[in-house]
Amino acid sequence: MSFEELKARDHEYVMQSYGRFDVAIDHGKNATLWDVEGKEYIDFTSGIGVCCLGYGNEDWSKAIYDQALKLGHISNLFYSEPYVNVAETLCKRTGMSNVFFANSGAESNEGMIKLARKYSFDKYGKGRGTVITLNKSFHGRTITTLAATGQDVFHNYFFPFTEGFRHADANSMDSLESVAGHDVCAVMMELVQGEGGVLPLDVEFVHSVAKLCAERDWLLLIDEVQTGVGRTGSLFAFQQYGIVPDVVSFAKGIAGGLPFGGIMANAKCAGVFTPATHATTFGGNPIAAAAAGVVLEKLDEDLLAQVKEKGEYLRGQIEALDLPCLGKTRGMGLMIGIEVKGDKTNKELAAKLIANGLLCLTAGPGLRLLPPLTITKEEMDKGVAIMKATLS
Ligand SMILES: *Cc1c(COP(=O)(O)O)cnc(C)c1O
């Protein structure tokens, strides 16, 4: 089927809630993709930070196939081995105590907010349900996670939003203290704000927030939906910030391309969810869990070290181009933001790059790169060459 035919059918039968680029992807190998008409692309997006092992990984595909033949779904009324394996690996590699599995980032964050409110309710009773989040944050698209998101553009149309969120400026303890109060139960934040523009939080700020949370018995909730699963060069970004969160959410990359996510709690919060207080039909699905098992196995110390090296290499190559429309790069590991300068917007630049064979993302006013963690030097060099040819 030609691209134009496919697009016409999408517009006829699918709700037009996405502003898609004019490309229909057909298949891929590692960080290289081909569209329905056979044109090649270098992928600096990994499906928005999801396909961390790239496309067409054989071990990942085989684990999914084998598990599908054995047991595709069973629900949380019964035990099954794949999700237990993933939970054990996550706890052993992070020092967290236990895991609840969900299916997406927003849903994982909902669970994290529910856990924080229940922790506080169990200990202090009603009236202490407010969660402080940061301006420029992004926590999801459900009514509650939109309310948590600290960007006014998201607070539209869908009134009434969930109560109980206040927003403070990142890297400012004064701002955070100014929205504090007796009704607060938690602070929730991304360590590198993703959708907001790839904005890493200052280490001192993060440590000060952790200290304040400990003093006031607020839970420290870290949204690692984008930063987690190796993206920043450690299994989770909090491990590089040197903090111990109370709860951490994850999703995007965890199963390398299948819908999966969840939250991990530390010892203090491990017993908050008791039977029937939180649940989901698909959570811990055996196929998604089998895929996650492969992702976690591949993300060993060697690959994590490579993520840091590749991130530095790619940023260095891009800055060396010294393009008039691009400024400084920032980020951690293979989560990279690029400042956009001049009269073209980030969306216009992304559209040009995509048309010329390089898939990339925008975030805030800049460009954002989230390549597969397995991207090769050759693929990075091809991508940078397309940037040079397109944006010079
Ligand atoms: C993508 C993202 C979410 C939402 O995840 P979905 O799977 O789209 O619901 C939440 N938080 C952060 C930090 C994200 O990057």
Predicted local distance difference test score (pLDDT) of residue 268: 98
CB contact set of 174 (below 8 Å; sequence gap of 6+):
none
For ligand 1, atom 5, name the residue with the nearest CA: 105
Sign of the CA dihedral 88, 90, 95, 100?
A: negative
193 lines ligand 1 (CB under 6 A): no
CA distance 149 to 133: 7
Q: Give pTM, 2 decimals.
A: 0.98
How far, in Å, from the CA of 227 to the mean position of ligand 1? 10
How far, in Å, from the CA of 345 to the mean position of ligand 1? 24
Q: Rounded mean pLDDT of 34-53?
A: 98
Confidence check: pLDDT of 366 > 90: yes
Pocket test for ligand 1, best of 195, 280, 368 (most atoms within 8 A of CB): 195
Pocket test for ligand 1, best of 51, 136, 226 (most atoms within 8 A of CB): 226
CB contact set of 105 (below 8 Å; sequence gap of 6+):
139, 140, 223, 225, 226, 249, 251, 252, 261
* pLDDT tens readout for residues 325-350: 999 999 999 999 999 999 999 999 99
104 lines ligand 1 (CB under 6 A): yes
CB atoms within 10 A of CB 16: 8
* pLDDT tens readout for residues 116-162: 999 999 999 999 999 999 999 999 999 999 999 999 999 999 999 99
- Look at phi and psi of residue 206 and say left if phi exceeds 0, alpha if psi is from -120 to 50, else beta: alpha
224 lines ligand 1 (CB under 6 A): no
Query: Any alpha helices (H) in the chain, and if so which ranges?
Result: 3-13, 46-49, 58-70, 81-94, 105-124, 143-148, 173-178, 203-216, 238-241, 286-298, 301-321, 346-355, 377-391
196 lines ligand 1 (CB under 6 A): no
For ligand 1, atom 6, name the residue with the nearest CA: 105
How far, in Å, from the CA of 390 to the mean position of ligand 1? 30
CA distance 141 to 125: 29
- Per-residue CA distances from 382 to 35, 92, 200, 262, 386 (Å): 17, 38, 27, 35, 6
Predicted local distance difference test score (pLDDT) of residue 132: 99
192 lines ligand 1 (CB under 6 A): no
* pLDDT tens readout for residues 64-106: 999 999 999 999 999 999 999 999 999 999 999 999 999 999 9
Confidence check: pLDDT of 1 > 90: no
Q: What tokens were used for 33?
A: 């993709």
